[in-house]
Amino acid sequence: MTKTKNDIVEGDVTHLIERLEVFEERMGVRLDALFAKLEEGYLTVNFELHSRDGNQIKEDTKVVIAVYDSAGRLVARGINQSYAAVFFGFEAFSETIRVPGQIAKIRVMPKHPQG
């Protein structure tokens, strides 16, 4: 990790990722291979979405990436979608989000597409 002139930590920030496993269980999926990198005000989060049971997911699933500052405020978010009709095995995703300064936490959670 390095610091910019504004004391913003850049580089690998994977340690800031929090998975919500209860959400994964409820949706019947598992997130794997998570990686996060902050560079020049942009956060990139890479991950794989796997079925917990076989090669298919039971329903369409969106994965929400919620980014928080040190005061616990939600400062940015991104969303990826996976469709049950075309899912097989696993899918790999990469989401890049503009963030307004230093971040303290990154939550990555699967949700129902309507939730």
pLDDT digits (tens, 9 = 90+) for 76-109: 999 999 999 999 999 999 999 999 989 999 999 9
**In this predicted structure, what is the pLDDT of residue 3?**
57
Residue 113 tokens read as: 């597409």
Which residues are registered as beta bridge partners of 85?
Answer: none
Query: pLDDT tens for residues 29-86?
Result: 999 999 999 999 999 999 999 999 999 999 999 999 999 999 999 999 999 999 999 9
| CA dihedral of residues 6, 95, 107, 7 (deg, nearest 10) | -10
The CATH class given to the 2-111 domain equals: mainly beta
* Rounded Cα gap, residues 50 and 24, in angstroms: 10
Structure tokens at 108: 């990555």
| 9 burial level (CB within 10 Å; 0-12, 13-18, 19+) | middle
